[in-house]
Amino acid sequence: MTRCAREGADKQPVCESVQSLVAQGQNTTLAQIAIGRLTPKSPLRLTLVLPVNIAVERAPRMQIEDQANSLVTLTFRRCMPSGCFADLEIKPETLNLWRTATKPGQILYRNSANQDLTLPFSFRGLGQALDALPKG
């Protein structure tokens, strides 16, 4: 899904491509992934929202399943009642790998009980969603 809002004095559209990960058979959102720009001219950023029951001393990571060269490590920015936010400026090389991925993606993080967790996600439609974003 692509969502946009008009921001700033010039009301330029600020858009992001978003994927929500929902537990099968439930309405509970496990995580949310967004790729977009903070301002129309800024570089693309990857933002990950995880539930609040996480261990923040280990940064969350994302990758294509079993493909180490696609691994990115995000930085936690803040936790709020709605979730914990981590982000990074995503490099074009990583986006190119993700656009052509044939395997699922993985979110790797640790919960508050110190258990390592892996959430799968899909890259299907990522290329089209990124192409729909306004160019910076």
Q: Convert the pLDDT of each residue in 22-48 to its tens digit.
A: 988 888 899 999 999 887 788 999 999
Q: Which residue has the tokens 């979730």?
A: 83
Query: Beta-strand (E) ranges in 26-134?
Result: 29-36, 45-50, 61-64, 67-73, 75-80, 83-89, 105-110, 116-121
Query: What is the pTM assigned to this prediction?
Result: 0.90
The string of pLDDT tens digits covering residues 91-111 is 999 999 999 999 999 999 999
The helix/strand/coil state of 69 is: strand
- What is the SS3 assignment for 130? helix
Every domain of the chain and the residues it spans: 2-132
Is the pLDDT confidence value at 8 over 90? Answer: no
CATH class of this structure's domain 2-132: mainly beta
Question: What mean pLDDT is predicted for residues 114-129?
Answer: 94
Task: Round to whole Å and give the CA distance between 126 and 95.
Answer: 9
pLDDT of residue 132: 84
136 pLDDT higher than 70: no
